[in-house]
Chain A
Amino acid sequence: MSAAAPGTPPLTDERLLKTSPLRKLMGRPELGSVVGAIAVFLFFAIFADSFLRASSLATVLYASSTIGIMAVPVALLMIGGEFDLSAGVMVTTSALVSSMFSYQMTANVWVGVGVSLLFTLAIGVFNGVMLTRTDPPSFIITLGTFLMLTGMNLGFTKLISGTVSTKSISDMEGFSSAKDVFASTLTVGGVDFKITILWWLALIVVATWILLRTRVGNWIYAVGGGEDAARAVGVPVNKTKIGLYMGVAFGAWISGQHLLFSFEVVQSGEGVGNELIYIIAAVIGGCLITGGYGSAVGAAIGALIFGMTSKGIVFAEWNPDWFKFFLGAMLLLATLLNAWVRKRAEATK
């Protein structure tokens, strides 16, 4: 950067240039996924006759919300440049803890829910602290957590309950009010919507507000963009990362409580493999695997695409054997589209 020659007017700073709304839109990370979501929606609207029924759409939204509640905090973590492979089983852990604590202590169900929140957040803190205090990348650390949790879920459940699933807590105090919060059904115009959809929307709003309107949001982007640079300008890198892992844990807690209160009993062996689905949703939604780029809305739309595809195949009466194939193809297409959109956006700046 050479000093401007005397006599020429100083150039305006590029960051202060006004960009047109269309350009702004082109620069949004979730643009690719919005296009994808519309395409998937139209596709199933044409090829699956019962897809457009209100009750079918409610089922699709429910399926999307169960993925989306996790995809949103996972996206934030990925923007911060890290992974969490323990996110899938953490959901099961969270459900197991509240169920077994309430049952064994014969406590009000809400006590178990509270203990579960603390316990799940502690797992998040563990992930974050291990990552920031030690050398290995998050991929390895959370892989370790993932395996440990999988074993603990099964081992402890068997040790405490004597079987591989928990005992039912549906007759205990506080169950019905907790069910209202985590797993109730809202009937709007004769169609049943699950409350998880509201949780999902709330998480999208909160996460978007954090990312775009707060200092913490800037920290997340900075940490993901370049850790050393962020540290050099005074961003609390470690705190930010631990916070992001706690965010994932919070999402796992909501999902876990939903599992527990909608089914009353938790199977200890579940949740394995879902962590990848959350990551896929975030990536389809425009998050970069290297961090520093992405959005919560994008991840939510990624989850919506996932929900539409998984249920759309059923509505279209196709053979479900091909579901994973479609998912993989969609992931590739979405990432290519996202990359192309990003290139165009950067070129027109």
Chain B
Amino acid sequence: MARFRSWVSIALAGAVGLTLAGCSSTGGKRAEDARKAASAQGRAAVNTPRWTVAMVTHSGDGDTFWDIVQSGAKQAAIKDNINFLYSHSDEAQQQAQLVDAAVDKKVDGLIVTLAKPDAMKAAVARAEKAGIPVITVNSGSEESKKFGALTHIGQDETIAGRAVGEELNKRGRKKALCILHEQGNVGHEQRCAGAKETFKGQMQNLYVEGTNMPDVQSSIGAKLQADKSIDSVVTLGAPFAATAVKAKQDAGSKAEIDTFDLNEKVAGGLKDGTLGFAVDQQPYLQGYEAVDLLWLYRYNADVLGGGKPVLTGPQIITKDQAAKLEEYTNRGTR
């Protein structure tokens, strides 16, 4: 025991010493704080009552994309004097139960994603029966109106896919690979199908295990080695773009890597030319607008969209806009 204690104290002393001795003059928390200072702060800009809005999404744990949606929603909540609650589950049944829980809480507004619309039907109906206004975001543009939601805010995945096909044509690509990292995701299937529709060249789907990055890399690498004629790779999520770049380098391929969604690395990659283009659906806007529109509905009975979905994408981002966006991705709002 005594020996164990002395080891612990040596280790602790060592750790403290290293931290003090090894300050970095670049990056790290200090740089982040400086960036944070440049991002929006705030307090309520209105004197409406403190309404509560709950958001329930189909996200898994620790998802970058949904983090950005949340930060948009939180920013709007600060401005609109709203108490914002967030919960999520990637299991349809759990998500429906979380909506039920929000309805039990008698929230003043509800934001849901309809990635699995049939599973959410009853829960959303229950919310409306309780007189809670519902706005759908991100997925479920077709079902939103049917379920009686005020508005749908998001990107039509098929339209986004078509935009990718067009952009690939513009770049004179002949043979493309569409990387699906979540088997069973309908939205992903629509993206690749949309791209196939407008792309004049050949488009192949490749399924990878998104929760296992080394596997993603080796699968893409193997495919690129096996078929040297592939000249572009489209990934469906920002984190997979960097992995695809690594795979391309390993395979010695010349393919251009393009991606859906943004993050810091993608913005950097666009800037230095390792990536071709990105298709952004502006997640920040999805969260922000959803909260803001619920506030407008509560305050003024305003509804946006005229019964049609409000689209936040696709926005094709190339080298030209990348520099500006890098700053925003850094602070976690793009």
Contacts and interface: CB of A to CB of B under 8 A. Distances in A.
A8 B98 CA distance: 68
Nearest to A164: B184
B202 interface: no
B92 A263 contact: yes
B118 A265 contact: yes
Interface string A61-79: 0110010000000000000
B99 to A, nearest CB: 10
Interface in B80-103: 83, 85-88, 91-94, 96-98, 100-103
B236 to A, nearest CB: 14
Nearest to A53: B104
B91 A154 contact: no
A163 B186 contact: yes
Interface string A148-161: 00000010000000
B102 A314 contact: yes
B61 A62 contact: no
Interface string A305-349: 000001101110101110010000000000000000000000000
Contact of B101 (A59, A263, A264): A59
What 4 A-B pairs are tightest by C-beta distance, nearest first? A269-B184, A265-B118, A263-B119, A56-B104
B116 interface: yes
B122 interface: yes
B84 to A, nearest CB: 10
Interface residues of A, number: 34
A164 B186 contact: yes
B105 interface: yes
Interface in B7-31: none
A259 B92 CA distance: 9
B116 A59 contact: no
B92 A62 contact: no
Contacts of B101: 56, 59, 311, 314-315
B105 A267 contact: no
B249 interface: no
A320 B88 contact: yes
Given A53-B104, A59-B100, A314-B102, A267 B85 contact: no
Contacts of B185: 164, 269
B189 interface: yes
Given A163-B186, A164-B186, A311-B101, A50 B118 contact: no
Interface in A253-285: 259, 262-265, 267-271, 274
A259 B62 CA distance: 26
17 contacts: A56-B101, A66-B93, A164-B183, A259-B92, A263-B119, A264-B121, A267-B92, A267-B116, A267-B184, A268-B184, A270-B92, A274-B91, A310-B97, A314-B98, A314-B105, A315-B101, A317-B83
B69 to A, nearest CB: 14
B265 interface: no
A218 interface: no
A55 interface: yes
B319 interface: no
A267 B139 CA distance: 15
Nearest to B54: A314
B106 interface: yes
Contacts of A271: 91
Nearest to B116: A267
A138 B91 CA distance: 26
Interface in B107-139: 116, 118-119, 121-122
Contacts of B61: 321, 324
A110 B104 CA distance: 34
